[in-house]
Chains A and B, each alone.
Chain A
Amino acid sequence: MPKSIISVERLTKTYANGFEALKGVDLEIAEGEILALLGPNGAGKTTLISIICGIVTPSGGRVLAGGHDVVRDFRETRALIGLVPQELTTDQFETVWNTVSFSRGLHGKKPNPAYIEQVLRDLSLWDKKDFMLRQLSGGMKRRVLIAKALSHEPRVLFLDEPTAGVDVNLRKDMWQVVGRLRESGVTIILTTHYIEEAEEIADRVGVIDGGRLLLVEDKVTLMKKLGAKQLILELSEPLGAIPEALSGYGLRLENEGQALVYDYDGHDQTDRIGPFLQALSAAGISFKDLSTRQNSLEDIFVSLIGERA
């Protein structure tokens, strides 16, 4: 694994009201990767991000960004990081240009109009640069928040629920921007409810719930799990046992012998279904109906969350 740009070690957070938002999270984020954090509301995603970015003080454990402690060496770590918050929080009376330039200044960077122009153009905001934020649609405001986060040329970008309440077109645009950033070497961490999004864009996927990180896995590995498919045959006549001739397929009987289930790998390109069905008719088994079932990230997600509940 390439070197970590963010290391989270035994991180805990208990809020003043006693709510335990994080119960010991360990996470290594590699430079240049896209990590998607999945989890239901209140899972601890935003708390985790907020601690890394400096908005919330950790109760225990520590976070290193670029090798620096986020609490002690906040100047170094915050200069590395750009944050796009979940809520559309904007100064309604400010213009797009001013608010984005302000963000750059806050991060201690000298003004660079050419760079800001490039950021605004990349996000299709250039023609809106003199608009006040209150004149913009929700989707446009979301772009402005991204522009603000990118204004100081961060090496790590946090996107907290970037596509919540965003239409399909903007979502596509946003993933293009994310793709370009990734090519330029920016590490991206995003939280989302949309599992398809994680599947589409992330290199690794983490599942967080109840303040714990339940799983962090390479998307490819996850996709293997995802690749598991089932062919379900509803038999005309119930079977008592699986016939000898079909023993090599690893079949299961379900529903008191009325359904025959065949597990196979959906990503395997070799033709398996054809020979299986031939073997089936050769064995004299007929069926009324057939269906297939695919394991989705959602299934994995639900089963992980379910295990805890």
Chain B
Amino acid sequence: MNWQAMKSIYLFEMARTRRTLLQSIVSPVLSTSLYFIVFGSAIGSRIQNIEGVSYGSFITPGLIMLSLLTLCISNGSFGIYFPKFTGTIYELLSSPVSMPEILVGYVGAAASKGLIVGAIILGTAYFFVDVTIQHPLLMITFFVLTAITFSLLGFIIGIWATNFEQLSLIPSLVIPPLTFLGGCFYSINMLPPLWQTVSHFNPVLYLVSGFRWSFYGISDVNPWISLAIIIAFLGVCLVLVSWMFRTGYRLKS
């Protein structure tokens, strides 16, 4: 194992965050605070409690997931796409580094950034609403698994993308509808039966719901199914990325 190389990639990527502090940390925290002010305090005070939880508290896990998914995908994809775009990828390919080591470096850094921002948002939430975490161990499991899985998805997108348009396609066009319609801001029990059924095909529902269960013990779906689904999705991403590495897909001719 080339530990030194993994560490170098990880630290190099983390250093990029320091340079773009405003964009990578301040901006997601600001936008989430705005959600708390608008939905939590202003509008939320007029919305009745959902299964005994105030609306502001109810949306907190969903908001963390929303930021976590978006950030992990964009960090994960940008990290590997940028060297492809500038051509510095030659260096990764000609170094004594294996593909899995490259993966650990980039995905590790992207997931770390997502987790840092997620933790800051959670901290911010305490200022606006009441937050309790009933199952901390499960909460951390969901938190970390989601960060890793979606950073990995980002990494796959970064390898697949051949231009900036494709790079932002999934994070900007696919993820927002999935998260907004995945029960970030409501319980799917509030929907008509047809839409409840449709919602069950949205994978993000399981993430948000399971994560919320670890906070308040309320959930639209069985939290263990949630956990199984995220692990299965992680498995799919791993199979895909190992195929990419084996064939050198869009990395190596």
Q: Which of B8, B86, B96 contacts A91 (CB 8 A)?
A: B86
Neighbouring B residues of A104 by C-beta, 8 Å: 8
A106→B5 contact, CB < 8 A? yes
Surface stretch bound by B, among A75-83, A210-218, A298-306: A75-83
Closest approach, in angstroms, between the C-beta of A139 and any C-beta of chain B? Answer: 18
1/0 per residue B88-101: CB within 8 Å of A? 10111111111000
Taking the complex as formed, is B253 at the interface, i.e. its CB lies under 8 A from any CB of chain A? yes
Q: Which of A54, A57, A74, A87 contacts B253 (CB 8 A)?
A: A57
Closest approach, in angstroms, between the C-beta of A78 and any C-beta of chain B? Answer: 4
A105→B7 contact, CB < 8 A? yes
The majority secondary structure among interface residues of chain B is helix
Neighbouring B residues of A55 by C-beta, 8 Å: 90, 93-94, 252
Neighbouring B residues of A105 by C-beta, 8 Å: 4-5, 7-8, 12
Q: Which of B2, B91, B248 contacts A75 (CB 8 A)?
A: B2
Cα distance A75–B8 when bound, in Å?
A: 16
Cα distance A104–B4 when bound, in Å?
A: 9
Taking the complex as formed, is B46 at the interface, i.e. its CB lies under 8 A from any CB of chain A? no
A85→B87 contact, CB < 8 A? yes
Closest approach, in angstroms, between the C-beta of B109 and any C-beta of chain A? Answer: 13
Taking the complex as formed, is A3 at the interface, i.e. its CB lies under 8 A from any CB of chain B? no
Cα distance A233–B203 when bound, in Å?
A: 89
Cα distance A78–B90 when bound, in Å?
A: 12
How many pairs of residues, A versus B, come closer than 8 Å at their CB atoms? 77
1/0 per residue B208-224: CB within 8 Å of A? 00000000000000000
B91→A148 contact, CB < 8 A? yes
- Which B residues from 220 to 252 make CB contacts under 8 A with A? 248, 252
B12→A102 contact, CB < 8 A? yes
Neighbouring B residues of A76 by C-beta, 8 Å: 96
Neighbouring A residues of B9 by C-beta, 8 Å: 106
Cα distance A244–B4 when bound, in Å?
A: 79
A75→B96 contact, CB < 8 A? yes
Cα distance A157–B5 when bound, in Å?
A: 20
1/0 per residue B14-34: CB within 8 Å of A? 010001000000000000000
Write the chain B residue with the least CB distance to A88. B87
Neighbouring A residues of B83 by C-beta, 8 Å: 91
Taking the complex as formed, is A89 at the interface, i.e. its CB lies under 8 A from any CB of chain B? yes
| A108-B96 contact given A55-B252, A57-B253, A93-B19, CB 8 Å threshold | yes
A108→B87 contact, CB < 8 A? no
A106→B253 contact, CB < 8 A? no
A91→B94 contact, CB < 8 A? no
Closest approach, in angstroms, between the C-beta of A223 and any C-beta of chain B? Answer: 34
Neighbouring A residues of B87 by C-beta, 8 Å: 85, 87, 89
**Is the interface on chain B under 10, 10 to 19, 20 to 34, or 35 or more residues?**
20 to 34
**Is the interface on chain A under 10, 10 to 19, 20 to 34, or 35 or more residues?**
20 to 34
A89→B90 contact, CB < 8 A? yes
| A102-B8 contact given A79-B96, A81-B94, A108-B96, CB 8 Å threshold | yes
A106→B86 contact, CB < 8 A? no
Neighbouring B residues of A81 by C-beta, 8 Å: 94
Write the chain A residue with the least CB distance to B4. A108
B94→A78 contact, CB < 8 A? yes
Q: Which of A56, A90, A91, A108 contacts B2 (CB 8 A)?
A: A108
Closest approach, in angstroms, between the C-beta of A121 and any C-beta of chain B? Answer: 22
1/0 per residue B169-193: CB within 8 Å of A? 0000000000000000000000000
- Which B residues from 91 to 131 make CB contacts under 8 A with A? 91-98
Cα distance A77–B95 when bound, in Å?
A: 9
1/0 per residue A25-69: CB within 8 Å of B? 000000000000000000000000000011111000000000000
Cα distance A94–B253 when bound, in Å?
A: 27
| A89-B86 contact given A16-B253, A107-B5, CB 8 Å threshold | yes
Cα distance A85–B19 when bound, in Å?
A: 27
A54→B7 contact, CB < 8 A? no
Taking the complex as formed, is A110 at the interface, i.e. its CB lies under 8 A from any CB of chain B? yes
Closest approach, in angstroms, between the C-beta of B143 and any C-beta of chain A? Answer: 29
Neighbouring B residues of A103 by C-beta, 8 Å: 91, 95
Question: Can you list 29 A-B contacts with CB-CB less than 8 angstroms, sorted by A residue number?
Answer: A16-B253, A53-B93, A54-B94, A55-B94, A56-B252, A57-B248, A57-B253, A78-B94, A78-B96, A79-B96, A81-B94, A83-B91, A89-B86, A89-B90, A90-B86, A90-B88, A91-B88, A103-B95, A104-B8, A105-B12, A106-B5, A106-B8, A106-B9, A106-B91, A106-B95, A106-B97, A108-B2, A108-B96, A108-B97
Q: A78-B94, A78-B96, A81-B94 are known; give 11 further A-B pairs, CB within 8 A.
A: A53-B93, A55-B252, A57-B248, A57-B252, A57-B253, A77-B96, A85-B90, A90-B86, A105-B5, A106-B8, A110-B4
B interface, CB within 8 angstroms of A: 2-5, 7-9, 12, 15, 19, 82-83, 86-88, 90-98, 248, 252-253
Shortest 6 CB-CB contacts between residues of A and residues of B: A105-B8, A89-B87, A78-B96, A106-B95, A75-B96, A53-B94
